[in-house]
Amino acid sequence: MPFQLLFFPKQRNGVINMIAHETNSQSTIERLVWDILFENEIGEPPVPIVFLCDNLGIKVRETRFKTPTLSSMIFEDEGQYQIYVNRDASDERQRFAIAHELGHYFLHLNPRRVAHAGFADNDDTLGQNAQHPMERQANEFALSILMPHPWVRSLRVTNSHADLARMFLVPEELINWRVKTVR
Ligand SMILES: [Zn+2]
């Protein structure tokens, strides 16, 4: 395994809650993402995130959550991982939410199983001010897989952030967020 993770179990509401230490460094996540793109023969934007989930045997479904603040979730049901995403969100927001859940899948659920059975996310956990280390890691993963570092670095030379948002099929604020991390 390329990751060294330390976890401290914490009991909350009768559910074991795990806290990840930030040893999933950004560069480690970038390398993981690059391997995933290579193995799935994805070589240009926009990254086909639902196709990628399909390839991995993860079902993606649009839904309207009973809790309106929910954006997306991932959980395992009888050995099958499922991602649900808010159907009322824009396609670009849905892509980020799906990529975030895929980050939880690779970093926290399968095969490491360092977390509880799944994750439910909202605007806070999908945002730049997410507090929990696992949420920040899933966001790093989502930014990395939707906007791979080498592609952004070369395309940003001749394209505006609005152009990049159209190329990568992400909200423009995510381009701004990503560009901060790409030297
Ligand atoms: Zn999350």
Domain architecture of the chain: domains with CATH: 25-146 (1.10.10.2910)
pTM: 0.85
Residue 167 Cα to ligand 1 middle (Å): 25
* Residue the block writes with tokens 């930030």: 22
82-128 pLDDT, tens per residue?
999 999 999 999 999 999 999 999 999 977 677 677 999 999 999 99
Query: pLDDT value at position 39?
Result: 94
CA of 136 to the centre of ligand 1 (A): 8
Does the pLDDT at position 13 exceed 80? no
Q: Is 14 left (phi over 0), alpha (psi -120 to 50) or beta?
A: left
Is residue 21 scored above 90 in pLDDT?
no
User: What digits encode the pLDDT tens for the residues 126-180?
Assistant: 999 999 999 999 999 999 999 999 999 999 999 999 999 999 999 999 999 999 8
Number of other CB atoms surrounding residue 36 within 10 Å: 19
- Distance from the CA of 144 to the center of ligand 1, in angstroms? 15
